[in-house]
Structure formats: structure tokens, C-alpha cells
């Protein structure tokens, strides 16, 4: 990890501005969003159904609009789109501390999600536009590491402020995003995408261009399936620790997994990139995700949950940076944010499948008296996706060999 960081001393200033933004925004997000549901239930006294609806609105406005917002980022420029997104999220997060009605919370959720749908594809595209093929995997690995550090720090700060009142949590998160806005405004150079220099061809035309890329559509299918496994973590761990009457361990389990990701993100990402083909890295990550879930569910002791979570987190270490690197590789000039927007939408579909399908499997397993049903299904689902990815990898290798023989 230290050697990898030393190699980044030559990286230009814009990257370090983006790294600061990534960490600060992760702290602000994880400071408030995990506590929002508790606040709505226990202080505002909303029903569980209403809290679910409000949360779904935030998720839809962030993930569901990512296709449109990613395309807009390619048209407007990445810095401008990042700034607009940060400003909108600052407004949305600020609203949470000053509203006390369902319509107010719905509006706040919509704006906070809309802000994310604008700056997320644009920020990933910004990383891709400045990085090179030789350092891109390290750049994205560092980005994920900093995001995970925010995941560790944010909830701790949020819990401390929650001891006073949720308004202080909202105010602190708002100030963090306001800081990111002004920091980006003054220190982040503008990158004018290639597409925005051309004559305006229309957002719909840009979206059609991305969708017509058949290999990328297959890639989105792979990421969607793998992401349906990623979303199981926040259902599987509470479900299993409750079964083992060890609910008090939830925080320690998540913290342990996050620390593993922070420590291993950069070195393991570089190792996978150096030793395996891209789809091979994603297959390894998916195998660890599925195997980790299987271990959590089939080992009837707490050590099985810890071991499963660590394997699961290492799977994410391999999967996420490579996934982002491959998205940027698929994209053409001036289309990077559009591709990230499409992939983000695919991930949101995977999250829906994972949440709904996972919940159904847990209930079905209970009703059938077979507690192992969901865990076996997760393993089989992951292995099927790995088979599809490796099949694609073999096709590409065969095509390359045919090209080489033709050239000879």
C-alpha cells in the first residue's frame, strides 16, 4: 500500500482535490443517511411503510435519473455538473433538519438524491478523463478506499451529534457538502468533454449511442447480477446475528469489514489487475461475494459471520475498482459520464433485485423450514454470473488469437 501511494506523488492536483471531495462527501453522506430512518421512526413517528417510501424516493432520484444526468455531464462539462450536484445536495441535506412533515421529507429526499445523480457520474468521469490506463485501477482503488474511510468515520460523528439532536447532524452534513462545493469551485480545474465541444446532437442521441454498444450491455448485465449480491450485506448480517441472538455485534462486524477494505483496497486491486484479465478480476470478486454470503449463512457461529463478511469485503475490493475501470474503457471520447450513468442505473436494478429477491428467499426458506435456501441460492447465482463472465473472456481471447493468426 505504501509503495502504491508513493507512486501517486506525481499525480496532478485535480486528483487530490477529487480525493478530498470523495472522502468529505462520504463522511457527510454516511453521517446522516444511516440515521435518517431512525429519526423518522422514533422522533417524527412515521410508519415503517412511509419511511420505506421516503427512502425509495431518495434512491430513485439518485439512481433512476443517473442515465439522464450522466449524459448531461458530458454536455455541460464535468466540473460544472459536479458543482450543480453538490449545490443541490447541500440544499436537500439542509432541508432535513428544518422540516417535520412527510411532504417536506419527500422534497428533501428528492433533492439530495438528484444532487447525487448529477455529481456521481461526473466525478467518476473526471477521474477517468485525467487518469491513464497504467494508473486508472489504482486511482479508482484509492477512491473506494477513501469512500470506505468515510463509511467508518461518518456514522461515528453522526452518532455523537445525534446525542444532541438530528438537526445538528443535518447541519454538519450540510456544511461538509458546502465545503466540497467551494473547495471544488476554487481548486478543481474545468474539464471540457470532447462531446461538449461538438455541435449539440441531443441527449436522446447520446443515450442511443451508449445503448447501442452491445458488449457494454452485456457488461451491465454482469454488474447488475454482481450488485444484487453486494446489496445483500445490509440484509444478511442483521438477519444472521438476530438468528444467533448477537444483535449487539452488528456495529463491530460492519466496522471490521470496513477496516479490511480500507487496508487492502489498493494493494489487492493492483495485484488483481497485474495477475488477471479484467473479467477474471470481476469473477474473483463475485466468487468472494457469493462465498462470503454462503459462509455467513451456513456456519452456525459468530466466527462464520465475521469470516463471511471479511471474504465479502475482499470481493468488493476486487470488484468495484475494476468495474469502474472497465466502464471508462468502454466509453468513447466525450461519453464517459453517460456510460457511468447507464451503469449506475444497471446497479440500481441489481439493488432492487437483490433487496426484493433476497427478502423473498429469506421468507421462503423460513416457510419451507430450510434455513439454508437463500445462502445456497446466492452461491448458485454468483457462480452462474461467473460462468457468463468467463465465457465472455474466452470469446475475447479466441478472437484475439484469430486476429493474431490472420496477421501472420
Last residue of a domain, one of 200, 228, 256: 200
Cα 239 to chain centroid, rounded: 22
- Both 121 and 184 in a single domain? yes
Residue 407 lies in a domain: no
Say if CB 193 and CB 129 are below 8 A apart: yes
Do 106 and 212 lie in one domain? The reply is no
Of 247, 230, 226, 229, the closest CA to residue 238 belongs to 247
Decide: 257 and 250 in contact? Cβ < 8 Å. no
- Shared domain check, 330 and 313: yes
Same domain, 94 and 82: yes
Q: Are residues 143 and 275 in the same domain?
A: no
Looking at 200, 221, 244, the residue that finishes a domain is 200
Range of the domain at 368: 203-401
Q: What is the pTM of this model?
A: 0.84
Taking the C-alpha atoms of residue 378 and residue 370, their distance in angstroms, rounded to an integer, is: 14
Query: Are 93 and 231 in the same domain?
Result: no
Q: Which residue, chain included where needed, has cell 446532437?
A: 201
Q: Are residues 50 and 175 in the same domain?
A: yes
Residue 183 lies in a domain: yes
Q: Is residue 196 one of the residues assigned to a domain? A: yes
Q: Return the CATH number at 284.
A: 1.20.1250.20
- Same domain membership, residue 220 and residue 90: no
Domain membership of residue 406 (yes or no) is: no
Q: Are residues 182 and 243 in the same domain?
A: no
Residue 175, in any domain of the structure: yes
Domain final position from 165, 200, 235 = 200
Query: In tens digits, what is the pLDDT along the chain, a chain of 408 residues?
Result: 455 555 556 567 888 899 999 999 999 998 888 788 878 888 888 886 788 788 878 888 888 889 999 999 988 889 999 999 999 999 999 999 999 999 999 999 999 999 999 999 999 999 998 888 888 888 899 999 999 899 888 888 988 898 899 999 999 999 999 999 999 999 999 876 555 555 446 778 888 889 999 999 999 999 999 999 998 887 788 788 878 887 666 777 877 888 888 899 889 998 998 898 888 999 999 999 999 999 999 988 889 999 999 999 999 999 999 999 999 989 877 788 999 999 999 988 888 888 788 888 888 888 888 888 999 999 999 999 999 888 877 776 555 444 444 444
Q: Quick check: 123 and 66 in contact, CB under 8 A? A: no
Structural domains in the chain (count): 2
Q: Is residue 408 part of a domain?
A: no
If asked whether residues 172 and 33 sit together in one domain, one would say yes
Report yes or no on 370 lying in a domain.
Answer: yes
Is the residue at 86 inside a domain?
yes
Domain shared by 27 and 66, yes or no:
yes
In this structure, the answer to whether residues 61 and 159 fall within a common structural domain is yes
Amino acid at each position: 500500500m505504501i509503495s502504491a501511494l508513493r507512486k501517486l506523488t506525481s499525480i496532478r492536483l485535480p486528483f487530490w482535490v477529487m480525493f478530498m471531495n470523495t472522502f468529505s462527501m462520504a463522511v457527510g453522506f454516511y453521517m446522516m443517511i444511516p440515521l435518517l430512518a431512525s429519526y423518522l421512526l422514533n422522533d417524527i413517528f412515521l410508519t415503517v411503510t412511509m419511511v420505506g417510501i421516503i427512502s425509495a424516493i431518495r434512491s430513485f432520484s439518485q439512481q433512476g435519473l443517473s442515465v439522464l444526468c450522466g449524459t448531461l455531464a458530458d454536455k455541460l462539462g464535468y466540473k460544472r455538473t459536479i458543482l450543480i450536484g453538490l449545490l443541490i445536495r447541500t440544499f436537500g441535506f439542509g432541508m432535513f433538519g428544518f422540516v417535520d412533515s412527510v411532504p417536506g421529507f419527500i422534497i428533501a429526499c428528492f433533492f439530495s438524491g438528484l444532487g447525487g445523480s448529477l455529481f456521481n457520474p461526473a466525478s467518476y468521469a473526471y477521474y477517468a478523463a485525467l487518469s491513464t490506463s497504467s494508473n486508472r485501477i489504482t486511482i479508482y482503488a484509492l477512491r473506494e478506499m477513501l469512500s470506505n474511510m468515510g463509511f467508518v468515520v461518518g456514522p461515528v460523528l453522526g452518532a455523537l451529534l445525534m446525542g444532541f439532536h438530528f438537526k445538528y447532524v443535518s447541519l454538519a452534513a450540510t456544511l461538509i457538502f458546502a465545503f466540497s462545493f467551494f473547495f471544488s469551485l476554487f481548486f478543481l480545474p474545468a474539464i471540457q468533454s470532447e462531446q461538449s465541444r461538438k455541435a449539440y446532437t441531443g441527449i436522446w442521441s447520446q443515450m442511443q449511442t451508449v445503448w447501442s454498444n452491445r458488449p457494454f450491455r452485456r457488461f451491465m448485465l454482469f454488474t447488475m447480477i454482481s450488485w444484487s449480491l453486494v446489496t445483500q450485506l445490509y440484509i444478511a448480517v442483521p438477519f444472521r446475528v438476530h438468528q444467533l441472538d448477537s444483535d449487539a455485534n452488528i456495529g463491530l462486524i460492519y466496522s471490521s469489514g470496513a477496516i479490511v477494505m480500507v487496508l487492502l483496497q489498493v494493494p489487492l486491486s493492483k495485484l488483481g489487475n497485474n495477475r488477471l484479465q479484467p473479467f477474471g478480476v470481476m469473477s474473483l470478486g463475485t466468487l468472494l461475494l457469493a462465498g462470503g454470503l454462503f459462509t455467513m449463512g451456513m456456519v452456525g457461529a459468530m466466527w462464520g459471520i465475521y469470516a463471511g463478511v471479511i471474504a465479502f469485503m475482499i470481493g468488493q475490493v476486487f470488484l468495484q475498482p475494476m468495474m469502474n475501470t472497465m466502464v471508462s474503457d468502454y466509453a468513447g471520447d466525450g461519453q464517459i459520464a453517460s456510460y457511468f450513468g447507464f451503469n449506475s442505473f444497471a446497479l440500481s436494478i441489481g439493488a432492487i433485485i437483490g433487496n426484493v429477491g433476497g427478502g423473498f428467499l429469506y421468507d421462503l426458506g423460513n416457510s419451507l423450514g430450510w434455513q439454508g435456501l437463500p445462502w445456497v441460492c446466492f452461491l448458485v447465482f454468483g457462480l452462474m454470473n461467473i460462468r457468463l463472465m468467463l465465457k465472455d473472456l474466452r470469446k475475447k481471447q479466441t478472437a484475439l488469437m484469430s486476429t493474431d493468426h490472420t496477421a501472420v
